[in-house]
Chain A
């Protein structure tokens, strides 16, 4: 299976702390994306990083990509209670007709 693995599966932190989630994948990729899902809702695209990029920022989000280790991390700084959600990484592969393969997800809980 090409599906990525994320760790931790669940993460609980206090408001104001930073949250780091990791994603590992198995084969060569074109790009890696992070999505957020609130309970029972659809997914919201957060950030996309291409395979030739190493780091990307968007607001309080910082994503890194290490293609040699086939891994990525998502850092959310100064977390807020509203950041509570599930976070998924998704990878796009060469020749995959633009399909994405989703990781197992991290459930983040930010306590007020």
Chain B
């Protein structure tokens, strides 16, 4: 069965510090991978995506993520966090072999302290 694990439920970082949010997946097919962000009361905004090619992908708001096939991971990073980055972050995985549906992780709530 397909599954996505985000091992950290909450993370707190200081403003200006670097950030890494972890995502591991278990899939029986070549996945395509996404990170979405949800601010309170808002919908899911696409941060970045990986389909193929360069395993380091750049997204909006200064985020990047690296696909590591050997570790089945797709971790999200940002070199310097801003207070406005406080939100919940979701990793999601899909594959053509499993139709169009996305499987989501449980989310990581990011708190930024000043």
Partners in one complex: no
Interface set of B (CB-CB < 8 Å, partner A): none
Q: Which residues of A contact B (CB under 8 A)?
A: none
